[in-house]
Amino acid sequence: MDNPLILAVDCNARNLELLAEFLHREGYEVYRANSIEQFVHAVENLAVNLALVDISGFDRNIWESCIQLRHKNIPFLVLSSKQTQLLQQESVVHGARGVLIKPLVIKNLLVMIEGLL
């Protein structure tokens, strides 16, 4: 298999660019999605191995796209700037394998990615 494809979802273009650059340096292929439409397109049309979904800035419809990941057995992590019990619960209910709080600790992110792949 070639390098794993990671779907990076973030409505903040700069954060998305930084995450994609980092993942590329680590040897991953990255598809960037900064809208729900791009997110859905990737899930339906690409061979995604893992998704990193920053829910900040999206409305509740982001969870419907996360459910699509779960139905396709694509593991995903939720990224957020806030940690709350409700976020933890919603993430698990919608199929997330974990929640990482920003700012991300790069070592932890890499360990989680490797574990899920």
The pLDDT of residue 83 is 82
The pLDDT of residue 82 is 85
The structural domains of the chain, with segments of one domain joined by +, span 5-116
DSSP letter string, 45-78: HS--SEEEEE-TT--TTHHHHHHHHHHTT--EEE
The pLDDT of residue 112 is 95
The pLDDT of residue 54 is 96
Per-residue pLDDT of the chain (117 residues), as tens digits, is: 579 999 999 999 999 999 999 999 999 999 999 999 999 999 999 999 999 999 998 999 999 999 999 999 999 999 998 888 889 999 999 999 999 999 999 999 999 999 999
Distance between first and last Cα of the chain: 12
Domain 5-116 has CATH 3.40.50.2300: yes
Q: Phi-psi category of 100—alpha, beta or left, where left has phi over 0 and alpha has psi -120 to 50?
A: beta
